[in-house]
Amino acid sequence: MSEFVSIAARQEGAVGIIELARPDVLNALSRQMVAEIVAAVEAFDRNEKVRVIVLTGRGRAFAAGADIQEMAKDDPIRLEWLNQFADWDRLSIVKTPMIAAVNGLALGGGFELALSCDLIVASSAAEFGFPEVNLGVMPGAGGTQRLTKLIGPKRALEWLWTGERLPAEEAHKLGIVTRVVSPELLMEETMRLAGRLAEQPPLALRLIKEAVQKAVDYPLYEGMQFERKNFYLLFASEDQKEGMAAFLEKRKPRFQGK
């Protein structure tokens, strides 16, 4: 994998780990950092040996938002030419399961990055929020859309309008966060979850993820038809043959992603 400046990326077994590495600025998301995150995610997504991707932040924050110093003097024409959110859009089509391990602050773009992942494991000290309104702007990388689909428009509006922070436990109650753990156990518990998913049949995980994503936008009947086609498709896989044979033979399956 290419050398990065703003992040660190490594592979541990079947898990690809991406660590945001600008702790001196609370991992503020510069355009370079976002481009590097997306490049690393896509590299792991293409790697058949990587079955789960974990994103986390170095230091006291997951990511405390966008790099405001970089954006303060932007204008609409420059933003249009930069097309900076195109990188964010690429995260939406990643097929490998993604887990955000959130330590500390996940604000603005940092919250949007966490919401781009499939699961969020948060430390009990984590805080989430969209403070953009306090700067005279609003989320632009999917925050209004993803938060609303998760918790509904009225709750989303309250947090988006006030810019207040959402503690990890409350985010868990609202269904934003998957698990809340003590800060010292964050990576241990995240890697345990990632390891569990890595043992599952990777093709099934990918098609389940795809079907769940469609469920958010599709009417029920169309979503069920999409689900059914993916169900049928998995019967063309070696993993389906192995999984059912292992069940009948009362042994642990050995999934190969084929």
Which CATH code, of 3.40.367.20, 1.20.144.10, 1.10.760.10, 1.10.12.10, is assigned to 202-249? Answer: 1.10.12.10
> Residue 2: what pLDDT?
61
What is the pairing mode between strands 166-167 and 105-107?
unpaired
**Domain extent listing, the chain:** 7-199, 202-249
Fold of the domain spanning 7-199 = 2-enoyl-CoA Hydratase; Chain A, domain 1 (3.90.226)
Q: Is the pLDDT of residue 82 over 90?
A: no
Whether the predicted pLDDT of 108 surpasses 90: yes
**pTM listed for this prediction:** 0.92
Per-residue pLDDT of 218-232, as tens digits, reads: 999 999 999 999 999
* Cβ-count burial 75-113 (b if 16+ within 10 Å, e if not): eeeeeeeeebeebbebbeebebbbbbbbbbbbbbbbbbb
- The catalytic site residues sit at 112, 132
DSSP 30-56: -HHHHHHHHHHHHHHHH-TT--EEEEE
Confidence of residue 5 (pLDDT cuts 50, 70, 90): very high
